[in-house]
Chains A and B, each alone.
Chain A
Amino acid sequence: MTHMLHRQGKAEALAEDFTMLTIRARGQNDGSLWRMQKVLEMASRYPIVNFGDIKNGNKFTTTLETILSSTDQALPILHMVFTNKDDVTRFMKDLKEADLGISVVAGGLFEEIFQCCRKVGITAHTANHSLGVFGRTEKLPSQEVLDITTMCGHSLVTVAQTKKMISDVKKGKVTPEKAAEKLARNCLCGIFNPARAAKILRLIASPGV
């Protein structure tokens, strides 16, 4: 699954969009749910703007405690979203020191992630690069809509709802933050970045500001 890959946007916006996930390797550390939960618990000491897993939900539909106390051995992946490189660096340092032995994947600008790794002495192992979108790209919506919707890799943040939120923010019917939260609720695994979405919505509504 590549749901963390292919997020779109300009580099300055992506610089405030760090996704992290933790996962067990089938047949290798199947009994390590508690280690995944420990990773999430450690991340929650930082101001993460979203978290979640596909079974329990995200920050806006479940609680951190629900995920941390789950005994469901079938929980596949836990996710968390950071907006600040310094927090990511400190979190990576925590992970290195904790030496939990569980896989962690970081999403974001490669240059930034490699810098974080170097600072704390982590040697990144494998990379997944996006080469972009091919085919009937003329059928896709505007770039600003894509910048928001591609933050849900399962495509469950829809074009129609995003356009409605843009319209409602422009009309002053809802704040950018509340609109971003509404969108974030649909992203089941909690990898959508509502802080970045709110920023995009605010910019669209007040382009000159």
Chain B
Amino acid sequence: MRIDSEKCTGCGSCVLYCPVEAIVETDKKTAKKKAVMTVDLDRCVECGNCLRADVCPVDAVVQQPIDWPRSLRSAFSNPMTEHKSKDMGRGTEEMKTNEVTHRFEKGDVGVAIELGRPLLGASFRDVDRVTRAMARLGVKFEPNNPLTSLIEDPSSGALREDVLGERVLSTIVEFKIPEEKLDEVLPAIKEVAGRIDSVFSLGVISVLPDGGFAPVLERIRRLGFQVRPNGKVNLGLGRAIPNDSPPSRDIQTISSERRKS
């Protein structure tokens, strides 16, 4: 993103909408002695929030053309941007459709290390530190996660050299392991947390054998980790429905009736 310095009136309205505080004052002043704003392109993650907010009175916020590898910033930070795979978003369906896909079976644990979240954003140099630390333990990164395509060498976890200078609002290191491997993985996650310049949020996925709390939680707590009381639950209501199509009195008819009433 950039701000047209010839148009900017220095009102500062856009500043409120930048999640990474990349919109800053310049030394240049407007006729009314206000500081003209600019976008710190190193900090900016191309999330598009300032543009979407539509608060600039003179349309000075503009989206510049973005080439590779900067385009990764938008792909991982702007939810409106489609990844090359056409999967919107930064991760996968993970557990959201697990009752249909069986991506995770009993005894599996899904691990999601979401770098940059909350709020701070992260550089791919930090991501590289995490993927390398996990690769040393022999984990297999989730192939459908867009981040995995940036890992040049899955055995070492090394990211492509040309992406390391980029920053994103968040990105998820995602993999599946047998439950007992948490004994190695969780301490390694804690260790690498001390070597990054940002934060990450950590999540674990497991199948619920009897619809109640997951047995894996005991192991997690034993390893010295706290489990938050809130999270998300797949209700198990989905199934495969090949060649599905709406019934004759479909949702659009219902919607139309709602509008009339």
Contact = CB atoms under 8 A, between A and B. Distances in A.
Given A130-B201, A160-B18, A103 B120 contact: no
A4 B258 CA distance: 29
A96 B236 CA distance: 10
B222 to A, nearest CB: 13
A132 B119 contact: no
B135 interface: no
Interface residues of B, number: 95
A158 B239 CA distance: 38
B190 to A, nearest CB: 7
Interface string B214-229: 1001001000011111
B246 to A, nearest CB: 4
A128 B250 contact: no
Contact of A155 (B15, B169, B254): B169
B259 interface: yes
Contacts of A106: 232-233, 235
B60 to A, nearest CB: 18
A95 interface: yes
B38 interface: no
B204 A124 contact: no
Interface string B168-207: 0110100000000000000001100110111111111111
A111 B211 CA distance: 11
Nearest to B210: A123
Contacts of B204: 128-129, 131
Contacts of B172: 1-2
A166 B25 CA distance: 23
Contacts of A160: 15-18, 21
Contacts of B236: 122-126
Interface residues of A, number: 90
Given A2-B91, A29-B238, A133-B200, A68 B252 contact: yes
Contact of B237 (A2, A74, A104): A104
Contacts of B193: 134-135
Given A29-B100, A105-B95, A150-B118, 18 more contacts: A23-B96, A28-B241, A29-B240, A29-B242, A35-B244, A76-B89, A103-B237, A124-B234, A126-B98, A126-B205, A127-B232, A128-B204, A129-B227, A130-B231, A155-B19, A156-B79, A159-B21, A188-B52
Interface of B: 15-19, 21, 47, 49, 52-53, 79-80, 86, 88-101, 104, 110, 112, 114, 116-121, 169-170, 172, 189-190, 193-194, 196-208, 210-214, 217, 220, 225-247, 250-252, 254-256, 258-259
Q: What 7 A-B pairs have minimum CB-CB distances, sorted nearest first? A: A125-B236, A103-B238, A25-B97, A31-B244, A134-B193, A34-B246, A123-B211
27 contacts: A1-B92, A1-B94, A2-B91, A25-B93, A25-B238, A28-B238, A28-B240, A28-B242, A32-B241, A41-B255, A41-B258, A54-B88, A65-B255, A65-B258, A69-B251, A100-B237, A105-B234, A107-B233, A110-B229, A110-B233, A117-B211, A129-B204, A131-B220, A131-B227, A131-B228, A136-B196, A160-B15
